Amino acid sequence: MELQIQGRTAEVGPPQRRTVLAALAVDTGRPVPADVLIRRVWGADPPDGARRALHAHVARLRRLCEQTEGSGHPRLRLVRRSGGYLLEAREDQVDIHRFRQLAGRARETGRTDEARAALLREALGLWHGEPLAGLGGQWAARVREAWRRQHVDAAVAWVQVESRVSDPVAVIGPLTELLEAYPLVEPLTEALMRALHAVGRSAEALDCYADVRKRLAEELGTDPGAELRKVHEAILRGGLAESVVRPASRTPARAAPPARPTAAATPWPGTAPGQLPMGVQGFIGRGEELARLEAILASAADQPSAVVITAVSGTAGVGKTALAVHWARRAQRAFPDGQLYVNLRGFTPTGSVLSPAEAVRGFLDALSVPPARIPAGLEAQVGLYRSLLAGRRVLVVLDNARDAEQVRPLLPGAPGCLALITSRRSLTGLAATEGAQLLTVGMLAAEEAGELLVRRLGAERVKADPDAVREIVGRCAGLPLALAIVAARAAAQPELPLAALAEELRLTDRRLDALDGGEASSEVRAVFSWSYRALGQEAARLFRLLGLHPGPDAALPAVAALAGVPAARARVLVAELVRGHLLTEQPAGRYAFHDLLRAYAAELVATHDSDDTRRTAAHRLFDHYLHTAHRADALLTPRPSPTPLPPARPGAAAEELSGHRQAQDWFTAEHPVLLAAVEQAPAAGLHSHTWRLASALTTYLDRHGNRRALIAAHTAALDAARREDDAVGQAEAHRGLGLAEDRLDRPDAARAHYLRALELFGEAGDHAGQARIHQHLSRMSEAQGRHQQALGHAHDSLAHHRAVDDRAGQSAALNHIGWILAQLGDHQQALTHCRQALELAQETGDLNGQAHIQDSLGYILHRLGEHAEAVDRYQQALDLFHQTGDRHGEAAGLVCLGDIHGATGRPYPARTAWTHALAITAELGLPDADPLRAGLLERLGLPSADGSAPGSGQVPD
Measure Cα distances from 735 to 371, 486, 688, 692, 728 in Å.
21, 52, 16, 12, 10
Which has the closest alpha carbon to 137: 15, 50, 3? 15
Task: Return the higher-pLDDT residue of 541 and 365.
Answer: 541
**Percentage of the residues of the chain whose pLDDT score is greater than 90:** 26
Q: Is residue 383 located within the same domain as residue 460? A: no
Mean pLDDT of 365-379: 78
SS3 category, 692:
helix
Q: What is the pLDDT of residue 349?
A: 65
Same domain membership, residue 591 and residue 540: yes
User: Within this chain, do residues 460 and 381 fall inside the same structural domain, yes or no?
Assistant: no
**CATH number of the domain bearing residue 58:** 1.10.10.10
Within this chain, do residues 491 and 392 fall inside the same structural domain, yes or no?
no
Residue 556 counted as domain residue? yes
- pLDDT beyond 50 at 24: yes
**Does residue 785 belong to any structural domain of this protein?**
no
Q: Which carries the bigger pLDDT value, residue 33 or residue 822?
A: 822
- Both 323 and 424 in a single domain? yes
Helix ranges (H only) for 864-949 are 867-884, 887-903, 907-924, 931-940
Q: CA dist 878 to 13, 645, 648, 682, 891, Å?
A: 56, 35, 39, 44, 8
| CA-based R_g, the chain, Å | 35
Assess whether pLDDT exceeds 90 at residue 721: yes
Domain assignment of residue 853, yes or no: no
- Looking at the structure, do residues 357 and 412 belong to the same domain, yes or no? yes
Residues 405 and 472 in one domain: no
Better-predicted residue by pLDDT, 949 or 110: 110
Helix, strand or coil, per DSSP, at residue 534: coil
Q: How far apart are CA 258 and CA 317, in angstroms?
A: 31
Average per-residue pLDDT for the chain: 82
Residues 6 or more apart whose Cβ sits within 8 Å of residue 44: 138
Tell me, yes or no, whether 181 lies in a domain.
Answer: yes
Asked whether residue 216 falls in the same domain as residue 361, the answer is no
Residue 622 lies in a domain: no
Looking at the fold, whether 327 and 346 belong to one and the same domain comes out as: yes
In a domain, 858, yes or no: no
- pLDDT tens digits for range 557-571: 999 999 999 999 999
Q: Give the CA distances from residue 615 to residues 352, 489, 621, in Å, rounded to whole numbers and listed in that order.
A: 20, 32, 10
502, 460 Cβ separation under 8 angstroms: no
Expressed in angstroms, the distance from the first to the final Cα of the chain is 58
Q: Number of folded domains in the chain?
A: 4
Domain-ending residue, one of 553, 576, 608: 608
Q: How far apart are CA 522 and CA 528, in angstroms?
A: 10
Non-local CB neighbours of 229 within 8 Å, separated by 6+ positions:
223
Q: pLDDT digit string (tens) for 131-143?
A: 888 888 888 888 8
Percentage of the chain with pLDDT > 70? 88
pLDDT-derived band at 267, boundaries 50, 70, 90: very low
Both 323 and 374 in a single domain?
yes
Residue 369 lies inside a defined structural domain of this protein: yes
Following DSSP, what letter does each residue of 224-277 receive, concatenated?
A: PPHHHHHHHHHHHTT----SS--PPP---TTSPPPPPPSSPPPPPSSSPPB-PP
Q: Compute the distance between CA of residue 899 and CA of residue 906 in angstroms, rounded to an integer.
A: 10
Task: Please tell me the predicted confidence (pLDDT) of residue 256.
Answer: 34
- Mind listing the pLDDT tens digit for each residue in 731-777? 999 999 999 898 888 889 999 999 999 999 999 999 989 999 999 99
Last residue of a domain, one of 398, 421, 440: 440
Assign residue 474 the CATH number of its domain: 1.10.10
| Identity of the amino acid at 847 | L
- The answer as to whether 222 is a domain residue is yes
614 pLDDT band, cuts 50/70/90, is: very high
Q: What range defines the domain where residue 321 resides?
A: 287-440
CATH of the domain at 110: 1.25.40.10
CA-to-CA distance for 640 and 649, rounded, in angstroms?
Answer: 21
Task: Judge if pTM exceeds 0.75.
Answer: no
**Contact assessment for residue 236 and residue 942, using Cβ atoms and an 8 Å cutoff:** yes
Q: Domain boundary residue among 440, 469, 498?
A: 440
pLDDT band at 716; cut points 50, 70, 90: very high
pLDDT tens for each residue of 922-957: 766 666 777 888 888 888 877 655 444 444 333 333
Mean pLDDT of 242-253: 35
| pLDDT at residue 789, as a whole number | 94
Taking only the tens place, the pLDDT of each residue in 119-166 is 888 888 888 777 888 888 888 888 887 787 788 788 878 877 877 776
Whether residues 412 and 361 fall in one domain: yes
> What 8-state DSSP symbol labels residue 684?
G
> For residue 417, is pLDDT > 70?
yes
Higher pLDDT, 460 or 526: 460
Q: 32: which DSSP letter?
A: B
Q: Using the predicted structure, report yes or no on whether residue 249 has a pLDDT greater than 70.
A: no
| Residue 339 belongs to domain with CATH number | 3.40.50.300
459 and 545 co-located in one domain:
yes
Give the span between the Cα atoms of 526 and 512, in whole angstroms: 6
pLDDT confidence tier of residue 252, bands split at 50, 70 and 90: very low
